[in-house]
Structure 1
Amino acid sequence: MPASVIAATGLFTPEQSISNAELVEAYNAWAEAENARNAEAIAAGEMDALTPSSAEFIEKASGIKRRFVMDKAGVLDPQRMAPRLEPRSNDELSVLAEMAVKAARQAIAAWGKDVSEIGAVLCAASNMQRAYPAMAIEVQQALGIEGFAFDMNVACSSATFGLKTAADFIASGSVKAVLMVNPEICSAHLNFTDRDSHFIFGDVATAVIVESGETAGPGGWDILGTRLKTVFSNNIRNNFGFLNRTEADTSAPPPSSSDAVGGQTDKLFVQQGRKVFKEVVPMVAEMIVDHAGHLDIDPTTLKRLWLHQANINMNDLIARRVLGRDPEPGENVIILDDYANTSSAGSIIAFHLHHDGFDPGDTGLICSFGAGYSAGTVFVRKRP
């Protein structure tokens, strides 16, 4: 069976960014207004006053210092607390596809080959802006690619699931090259009025070209092995879907994550962070070590880990368990301080920005984990 190669990657970063200080200022203004509005109930002990957030709290809890977003003004408006993404007509390129196309064109330019050699497009992401037609097919059309395309959503693990799917298509002989894109507008699904999570996510798009080893030129990365795992859990959840109307209010339109403050918060991102940490860290660390053993790779010799950028404390602990020691500088790549959690794109951003310094034969790991629970491991080796 043909081997698979990561031949090129691309990254689209939005122009707008929000610092922790800016985010905290908006949240605290909203919380102060809410406390004032509910002053009588708070005084009567019927409800608790909202606690202010702080930049120090955010950085200690997550390692995040800022995040890129598609719309800064809406997020920082205390009367709104959500991005304002203007609707586009059906004849216009959708915002998610536009982000993906920009990342894809960068990857295609780095690849140096014609798009006619790409046989499939996968859009693997958490935060799709619509159910259908598939975002992947829109991206395919915009880039002039033949063949087939489809979407896949495995939450934050979508990119590693996409890499395995691409590698499997190549191994089966279905195609010679696959374009995988990971556009994420996470800000549209984040509850910016929740102190415990209002700082978590950012927006971005990444792209990866996976090619058959039979046609790949020099350079790139051999995919040594891929493994996927899922275990059902409600500890990370987003209920925004087609069941948005309740029996008590069937006349109301479905709530939108772009609406002003209020509405049903379970239609946005929710998680039980402590449970996620306790359950996901050992699951992922054990999965990595076991998969490495199956591939006859000593995990302690991995030159670099490109983990999902969820939380610096999770990443540090997983790295220590895999390497059997504290990581040396540069071994466990962290980009969430600048990008925050970008869901499926995080591990690909880390790989795209920090794959330098490898000699042919050096081995690294791309790994993601998230809601589902879901996890994926992709071991890669630098090619001559």
Structure 2
Amino acid sequence: MVSQSSSANADTHIRPVISATGLYTPTDVITNEELVESFNAFVERENAANAGAIEAGETEALQPSSVGFIEKASGIKARHVLDKEAILDPATMAPRYRERGNDELSLMAEIGVAACREALAMAGRDPEDVDAVLCAASNMQRPYPAMAIEIQQALGIDGFAFDMNVACSSATFGIQTAADYVRAGHARSVLVVSPEITSGHLNWRDRDSHFIFGDVATAVLVERAEMAPAEHWDILGTRLKTVFSNNIRNNFGFLNRAHPETVGAADKLFVQEGRKVFKEVVPMVAEMILSEAERLDINAAGLRRLWLHQANAGMNRLIAQRVLGHEASEDESPTVLDSYGNTSSAGSIIAFHRHRADLAHGDTGLVCSFGAGYSVGAVFLRKVGA
């Protein structure tokens, strides 16, 4: 177990803040109705092809899905993806992207750059004002060169960049890392970008998980307070925690690639023990939030808004209830899960990006993510300005 904390109350005059955020959303949308129709067509084909083995008891028939099952299990109604056509083709059921040459901008970098440019525009910032880029995401397109360095180059930023992966907590871990760089004087302004192409790591043929993920990219600009726009967010404190678990796992990688006869094998893609994750993660996240709020002398029950990781509606409902002391309203704990699906590290940032404008000067809130590792990242914020 590793536990870290960082606070803006450290012995330094430099205060890191969040100046702006950016969001890139793919235009393709897959509704639950479309996904179920595709999945059930695949099930029918597979069961027909294996009818003899099923009849002989040598293999089990695949079970169809339903819109009701998906929404009850997750709260998801739709998700954005970068390649809808191939995913919905029962003969393919996986995204198919044109392989780009080394002299072309990578797909992951492309959507990351789009999110970064929106964040820079929101803050009125030029690329030359930024000193570092952290690409914090679950699903990297390649081992190296670092995606962050490619994004840095595409934006025209002079400084340093590197990748980091803490699964669904990558963005919040990235925010603390960026805040620490600013606080220590190593950078004035840092972009934390989370381009998540989760559709490539999802087994779209698995009834228990094929509905979970969506594609997206987010960006967070962390800067010195004195250079931030009049309206920004003070970082009051952060807390990180990791505990090893196999209950959420993805074995896809160059050392674990499947043999030709098993390409697409389920254990090389995203798998999880959902019930175990729910039982173990909910109390761990709630306890960490409450203990860190107490350390920072923040009344957890008085938090104006919780921007939680968008993985499961039931998990968020229970965590928010334990933190606030009552069942949270949609205003207190907004949801983007229903329309975006689980977007891994980007989920809590999407919620923050889309549901913060109405908060008043002095309001406090919490961005919190949790996922494989296990990993948990919490960022306590206070709004400054109108």
Q: TM-score, normalised by structure 1?
A: 0.95
Aligned to 1:228: 240
- Look up the SS of the partner of 1:30 in the other structure: helix
- Could you say what secondary structure the match of 2:361 adopts? coil
Partner Cα separation in structure 2 for residue 161 and residue 244 of structure 1: 26
Q: Where does residue 354 of structure 2 map in the other structure?
A: 353
Q: Which runs of 5+ in 2 are unaligned?
A: 1-11
d(CA) in 2 for partners of 1:161, 1:171: 15
For residue 382 of structure 1, what is the aligned residue in structure 2?
Answer: 383
Q: Distance in 1 between matches of 2:70 and 2:36?
A: 9
Choose which of 42, 56, 61 in structure 1 pairs with 2:73. Answer: 61
Would you say 1:153 and 2:154 are equivalent positions?
A: no
Give the secondary structure class of the aligned counterpart of 1:214: helix
Is 1:94 aligned to residue 95 of structure 2?
no
1:79 matches 2:91: yes
Q: Which residue of 2 aligns with 1:309?
A: 310
**Residue 290 of structure 2: aligned partner:** 289
The whole-number CA distance in structure 1 between the counterparts of 2:129 and 2:117 is 14
Aligned length: 373
The offset of 1:214, in angstroms, is 2.7
Asked if the contact 2:213/2:343 (under 8 Å) is kept, the reply is yes
The aligned runs of 1:1-384 (5 Å cut-off) are: 1=12, 2-244=14-256, 252=260, 263-384=264-385
Q: Secondary structure at the match of 2:237?
A: strand
Deviations 1:112-133 (A, max 9, x none): 0222111100000001110000
CA distance in 2, matches of 1:305, 1:18: 27
Distance in 2 separating the partners of 1:160 and 1:333: 18
Secondary structure of 1:116 counterpart: helix
Letter in 2 for 1:78: P
Amino acid at match of 1:212: R
Give the Cα–Cα distance (whole angstroms) in 1 for the partners of residues 84 and 360 of structure 2.
Answer: 41
The alignment partner of 2:377 has SS state of strand
Amino acid at match of 1:109: A
1:338, 1:330 → 2: CA distance?
Answer: 17
Q: 1:311 and 1:244 mapped to 2: Cα distance?
A: 29
Quick one: structure 1 residues 245 and 165, their matched pair in 2 at CA, closer, same or farther if it must change by over 3 Å?
closer
Q: How far apart, in 1, do the equivalents of 2:257 and 2:358 lie?
A: 53
Aligned-pair identity (%): 66
Structure 2 counterpart SS, 1:296:
coil
| Paired AA for residue 198 in structure 2 | C
* Structure 1 residue 217 displacement after superposition: 3.1
- The structure-2 alpha-carbon separation of the partners of 1:376 and 1:264, relative to structure 1 and needing over 3 Å to count, comes to same
Following TM superposition, by how much is the alpha carbon of 1:32 offset from its aligned partner in structure 2, in angstroms?
0.8
Separation in 1, partners of 2:242, 2:256 = 26
Following superposition, the deviation at residue 245 of structure 1 comes to 5.2
Per-residue CA shift, 1:336-382, capped at 9, x if unaligned? 10000000000000000000221111100000000000000000000
The aligned amino acid for 2:212 is I
Q: Secondary structure at the match of 2:285?
A: helix
The CA RMSD over aligned residues, in Å, is 1.2
The 3 A distance-change label for structure 1 pair 26 and 222 is same
CA apart distance, 1:215: 2.1
Task: Show structure 1 runs of 4+ deviating over 6 A.
Answer: none
Supply the AA of the counterpart residue of 2:267: D
